[in-house]
Amino acid sequence: MDAKADIMLLYRIDPSRNMARFYRLSIQPTLFGGSSLLRNWGRIGTEGRLRVELFDTAEEAAIAYERMAGRKLRRGYRHEGAAGAARETLHAAGC
């Protein structure tokens, strides 16, 4: 990974369960040459919670990034484009 930020934004929206969640993953460089994995999650419309995990190398951070992204995708979270389509469906249904 290079010095630029790598960001993934996922959504999980289920109107039947009154569920509207987001999960943001990003890799950021640290001041000391390592990398950090920032995980931000919560209900859409809130700031949510933030957890920072520090890693010695960018490769370790990338492995944790991919592992967490895979875990969230298996749990029903979808990429930003899929969430936009779900929101349009909600508005069309009057929710």
pLDDT value, residue 64? 97
DSSP string across the chain:
--SS-EEEEEEEEEGGGTEEEEEEEEEEE-TTS-EEEEEEEEETTS--EEEEEEESSHHHHHHHHHHHHHHHHHTT-EEHHHHHHHHHHHHHHT-
- Residue-by-residue pLDDT tens, the chain, 95 positions: 444 557 999 999 999 999 999 999 999 999 999 999 999 999 999 999 999 999 999 999 999 999 999 999 999 999 976 555 555 555 555 55
Give domain limits for the chain.
6-93
The arrangement of secondary structure in 6-93, i.e. its CATH architecture, is Single Sheet (2.20)
pTM, rounded to two decimals: 0.77
pLDDT value, residue 3? 47
